[in-house]
Amino acid sequence: MEERQSIGVLSDRFYPLARYSDFLASDLDRRAKRQYRRPFASLSLDQRTVLLKDALASRDRTTQRLYTGAVFLTEAAVYGGIRDDRAGCRLTGFPGGYQLVPRTKVDGTLTARLSGLSRSLDGNPA
Amino acid sequence: MQTRKTDVLVVGSGFGAAAPALRLAQAGLAVTILEKGPMVGPGQYRQTQDPKYLLKHIKGLGSEHLGLTYAEGLGGGSGFYEMVSLRAPTIAFEQQDDCGRRLWPSAVSRETMDPWYDLADSMLRVEQIPEDQVPRNGQIFAMMMARLGYSCERARYAVRNCLGSGYCVTGCIYGAKQSLHVNYLPQAVEAGATVTCDAEVTGIKALKLDRRDPSPLEPRYRVRCRIGGEKGEDVEYLAPIVVLGGGTVGTATLLLRSSRGLPELSRHVGRHIAFNGSVKAAGILPDDFPDGDMYAGRSHPGMISYEFLESRGITISTVKPLPLQMMAAGRLRLADVNPTPEWWGAGHVELMKQVRHRMIILLSLGLTPPAGRITLDRRGKAKLDVEGLAGMAEYERETEAVLRSILDRNGCRPISVESVDQTGMPHPGTYFSTAHQTGSCRMADSPDLGAVDAGGEMFGYPGLFVSDGAAIPSSLAVNTSLTILANAERIAAGIAARYGRVPAAVPGGPSRMAGKT
C-alpha cells in the first residue's frame, strides 16, 4: 500500500515530470492494449515489467528519458519514503525520520579493536 | 534604492565567512553578513528524505563529467555536513602543478596552518570519536582493513552529545552538531555583526577614490544586493572591506558576474577547481562478516584509512548514504550476474533489501589536480567544465581498482555503481561528484598563478578578500570544512591586524600568527 501511495509523486507539480504524467499513463495503456489487449492496470507484474522494459529501451530519446525519469522518481519516492518523514520504507528496512534508537544498540557493538589499527594518536596523521 | 554603509561586508555565512565575520567584529569593525539562502537552524531542520525540503537547502552544479554539491542557508554547509573535521595531511600542501610549481603559496603549509587548525578545533569543539561510538559500518570497514593489514584511524568530529540519529546531512534537530549556528555566528552577532538572510549579492563594483591617500576605511566597493527574493528590495552597500565567503561556486559566480565593475579581475577566477577525486566501490558482505547498519549511528561511519595516501594520493573510508543520497549517487546492480540485472524492478528491490545490513560502500577522496572550471553562460548562469579529462579517467580506474581489491580480498560480492544525473539518466564514462570542491579563486604567490594572495586579498583590488573554499588551491584528500575554516581564521587575522580598531581577542588563538600569512 505504501508503495502505491508513492506513485503520487509522478503527478506532484513540484517535479517537472508532472507535466508528462498524463502522457505516461496513456502511453502505458496504449502499450498494454497493443501487446496484451487489456488496460495496463489489469496486467500482472511480469507483464507490466515487460512493457516498462520496452518503454525504457524506446528508440525515441524523449520517451526513453521520460520513462527513465519516472522510474527513477518512483524509486526515490519508495526507497526514501518521501511522502511522510516518519514512514521510511518497509521493503528495505529504512526506518524513516524521528526514530531514535539508543546509541548503545548501534554503536561500538562489534567490539572491534580499533585503536591498534591507527597510525596517529589523535586521528590526524600529519 | 537604499544605500547603506558598513566597514566590512561579508558575503555568505558558512565556514569561509563566519570566522572573518566574528574576528572583524571583535576587532571593532562594523560587520554586515549577507546570506543568500534562508534563515535555517536546528529549529527548522527536518529528518526527512523529502526533496522539497532538501532541494531548498542543497544545491548542485553539474556537467557531463563533474557534479558539485553545496548548501545555501544560514551557516552554509555547516548545517548539513557530516561533522568530519580533519586536518589536511602535509602531502596535500606540497602538491605541484605540471610545471613543478607548488600549488599552495610558499607561506602556507601544514606546519603554518596547525595553529589555525588548533583554533578551529577549539571553536567547533572537535574531538576524535570514542571507540564505543563508532557506528557498525565503520567497525566493519575497520575489520576489513585489519584483515588486510592496513591501518585505519578513528575520525574527528565537531559534535557534542551525539544521539546517532543518522540524519546529520539533513540538519541536526538536536543541536548536537557544532555547526556555525552554535559558535561563530552567535558570537559574531554578540560582537556587533548583523546578519541578513535571503540576501543575494548581485554585483560588486570597485569605486574610484578621489584622494590619492585614502584612509583605510574609506569605502572602496559598491555592492548591490537583493533582499527577500525576486520580488524583494534592492539595496546597495558601500564598504572599504568586502569578504567573499560564498563558497567555490558562489564566490566565482559572483565575481564573474561582477567583471564590469571589477575590470582588472584575475583570469584565474572560476578556474582551478579541485574536487578531491571521490571514487566509490560497493559490495555485499560475505557471510562471515556481521551485519552493518546504514541507517543507525551518525552519518559518517567514524573510520578513515590513510594507508594509500603516500602511494596513491587517496584516503579511504566507507559511507552511509540515506536512500535519496544513494539514488542520487547512481544505479546499483550486482556485477557478478549474467546477464546484467536491471537497475529497477523486482530484482532491484531484492538488492535494495540488502543495503541496510549487508552492503558496504567504500569511498576514496584523492589529490586530483584542480581541473574544474566555472564560466557564465549568456544568461549569466554558472556553467561547469573539466579540463584535462584523460588523467582523470586513469585516476578513476586505478582508484576504483584499489577499492575493488579491498572488497574482493574480503570476499564481498561486487556491485556496480553507474553514475546518474538529476533526472536519473546514466552518465557514461568518467564522472566525479563531490561536496568537497575547493578552488575557483585560488591563493597564489603571484597574479600569474592565482586570483588572490596568501592573505586572501584579490590581486589588484585592495580590501576585496576571498576567505572560503574558493581560495584553497588544491584537493585535500580529506573532508574540506576544517581546512576552509582554519584558513579563514588565518585570513581574518591578517585583515584584523591591518584594519582593526581594537586588537582582536582570540581565546586560545595563535596571536603570534596574527597579520602573518
- CATH ID of B2-513, from 3.50.50.60, 3.30.420.40, 1.10.4160.10, 2.60.40.790: 3.50.50.60
Number of domains in chain A: 1
Q: Write A111-117 long-range contacts (CB < 8 A, 24+).
A: A112/B134, A112/B139, A112/B142, A112/B143, A112/B146, A114/B131, A114/B134, A114/B139, A114/B142, A114/B152, A114/B154, A114/B303, A115/B131, A115/B154, A117/B142, A117/B145, A117/B146, A117/B150, A117/B151, A117/B152, A117/B153
Q: Is the pLDDT of residue A111 over 70?
A: no
Q: Do A106 and B135 touch (CB under 8 A)?
A: yes
B320 or A115, which is more confident: B320
On the CB side of B338, CA atoms within 13 Å amount to 0
Q: Which domain holds residue A67?
A: 2-98
Q: Do B140 and A107 touch (CB under 8 A)?
A: no
Looking at residue B514, its pLDDT comes to 42
Q: Is the pLDDT of residue B512 over 60?
A: no
Question: What are the tens digits of pLDDT across the range A15-33?
Answer: 999 999 999 999 999 999 9
- Mean pLDDT over the full length of chain B: 94
Question: For strand B413-418 and strand B331-334, is the pairing parallel, antiparallel, or unpaired?
Answer: antiparallel
Distance CA B9, CA B235 (A): 13
Question: What are the tens digits of pLDDT across the range B253-306?
Answer: 999 999 999 999 999 999 999 999 999 999 999 999 999 999 989 999 999 999
| Mean pLDDT of all residues in B105-131 | 97
* Interface ipTM: 0.92
Taking CA–CA distances from B50, the nearest residue in chain A reads A82
Amino acid letter at B416? S
Looking at residue A4, its pLDDT comes to 65
Percent of all residues in chain B with a pLDDT value above 70, rounded to a whole number: 97
Residue boundaries of the structural domains of chain B: 2-513
DSSP string, B347-397: HHHHHHTTHHHHEEEEEEEE-----EEEEE-TTS-EEEEES-HHHHHHHHH
Q: Is the pLDDT of residue B44 over 70?
A: yes
* Domain assignment of residue A111, yes or no: no
Q: Do B133 and A69 touch (CB under 8 A)?
A: no
pLDDT interval class at B515 (50, 70, 90): very low
Touching B: A residues 20-79, CB under 8 Å: 45, 49, 52-53, 56, 65, 68-69, 71-73, 75-76, 79
Looking at residue B517, its pLDDT comes to 38
DSSP H or E segment with residue B408: helix B389-409
Looking at residue B513, its pLDDT comes to 45
Which residues contact residue B131 at a Cβ distance below 8 angstroms, ignoring those fewer than 6 apart? A108, A114, A115, B154
Cβ contact B107:B100 at 8 Å? no
Q: Do B297 and A75 touch (CB under 8 A)?
A: no
* Domain assignment of residue A17, yes or no: yes
| Mean pLDDT of all residues in B190-214 | 92
From B142, B164, B167, residue closest to A106, measured CB to CB? B164
